[in-house]
Amino acid sequence: MNKEVDVIIVGAGPGGCSAAIGLARRGYDVLLLEKERFPRGKVCGDGISPPALETLDRLGILPPVLEKNPWKIEGLTMSSPNGKAVKAFFSHLKGPYAFGLVMPRREFDSLVLHQARKYSNIEILENWEVKDFIEQNGWVEGVKAQSGSQKEEFLSKFLVGADGAYSVVARKTFSRENKIQQGAFGLRAYFQGVKGLTHQIEIHCGRSILPGYGWVFPTGEDSANVGVGIASRHLKEKNIRNLFQAFVKENPFVKERLLEARMVENSLQGGPIPLGSFFRRRSRKNVLLVGDAAGFTDALSGEGIYFALRSGECAAEAIQSALSSPGGAEKVGRIYEGLWRSALPSREFLFGAFVHRLIVREFFLNRNITRALKKPSMARDLASILCHQKAKMGLLF
């Protein structure tokens, strides 16, 4: 067990592993601390977008992902409260991948972690929970962690918080006003025996679940991740379990296809979808936040995998820049802020929450889906927006 390393990363999900692999490839020693033991599930639509595939390719993770033969996604179907639906395809997208994938997070996250294990300079400790931080003059010099009755202190030059929506790193090392605010909440289950699945993900906005939305993400020929999401501000007046039941039993695009389907035992789970502000900092001295811990989630689609992987890459690049130059440690935060704002569609964090408030309104949905049916270019724009190749403000015009 290595007690002193270059970088400690808290959280072994896609963001943490992305940062760890990026640092290990650059020759740095990394300690990856994970409070759970893999495999473990995560509430998510399980979609892996085309830009996420590009990032996985750069990290050397895409080949083993494809070997698992995940369900290929060629586009999406989106329906409105008035019962109309539009199909949008990814074939026009720029870049090497004009398709996405669906792979349950339990499998995907375990596979990504397995790839990180292949690096000799990444030490992975599962079932170790960070309890406190070792600080000196505002700088975090290490962490205090515990596994069962065993307690240890680990030291490092930099700390990366990749520990999800309830990030202990964000909570304990950032000021109150800089914390992530839970933006939405999702509830999903896996079903077997689903009828009518295609190579498209489905997003349905029926009257019975507004201002929430439902999804059907195929994981196989007759299996799917089925769920609902709603902005947290509505949870006091809307019971999310009732919304889920309304979606699977009343939505005209879903109910008949689930009549003979079977919900996989113990698969109904809920979890937060954290949304961060464009103006928030994701760094504090030698501490960087990535993925859900930083609030890097698409406010429109709820996608987090791409943002986790890409922000992990940015963190690794920022730390390399800091470690390779005299006095660089003091600049790491500024370097990271510049990198993520350049690499990620940063303006989308500014407009995403605003557009999200509009898109769950019945009039807005009915109007835009009807327009997209008459104008194919609007359907293409919808696919581009969800794959981060066109600004979300395009939905307003």
What are the chain's domains? 4-68+104-180+276-344 (3.50.50.60), 74-99+184-273+358-396 (3.30.9.10)
> What single letter denotes the amino acid at residue 84?
K
Q: Are strands 269-275 and 75-79 parallel, antiparallel or unpaired?
A: unpaired
Q: Cβ(352)–Cβ(392) under 8 Å?
A: yes
pLDDT of residue 178: 47
**Residue 97, token pair as written in the block:** 């991948």
Contact 308, 163 (CB under 8 A): no
pLDDT at residue 247, rounded to an integer: 97
pTM value is: 0.94
Give the HSE-up count for residue 359: Cα atoms under 13 Å, Cβ half-sphere.
25
Q: Can you tell me the distance from the alpha carbon of 120 to that of 2, in angstroms, rounded to the nearest whole number?
A: 12
CB 21 within 8 A of CB 310: no
Please report the pLDDT score of residue 256 as a whole number. Answer: 96
In whole angstroms, what is the distance from residue 381 CA to residue 394 CA? Answer: 8
- Going from the C-alpha of 270 to that of each of 189, 215, 227, the distances in angstroms are 9, 14, 9
pLDDT tens for the chain, 397 residues long, are 668 999 999 999 999 999 999 999 999 999 999 999 999 989 888 999 999 999 999 999 999 999 999 999 999 999 999 999 999 999 999 889 999 999 999 999 999 999 999 999 999 999 999 999 999 988 999 999 999 999 999 999 999 999 998 999 999 888 644 444 557 899 999 999 999 999 999 999 999 999 999 999 999 999 999 999 998 888 889 999 999 999 999 999 999 999 999 999 999 999 988 866 555 789 999 999 999 999 888 877 778 999 999 999 999 999 999 998 888 788 999 999 999 999 986 666 666 666 667 677 888 899 989 999 999 898 898 888 888 887 665 565 5
The tokens describing 164, both together, are: 């999800």
pLDDT at residue number 3: 87
Closest CA to 297 of 317, 315, 319, 272: 272
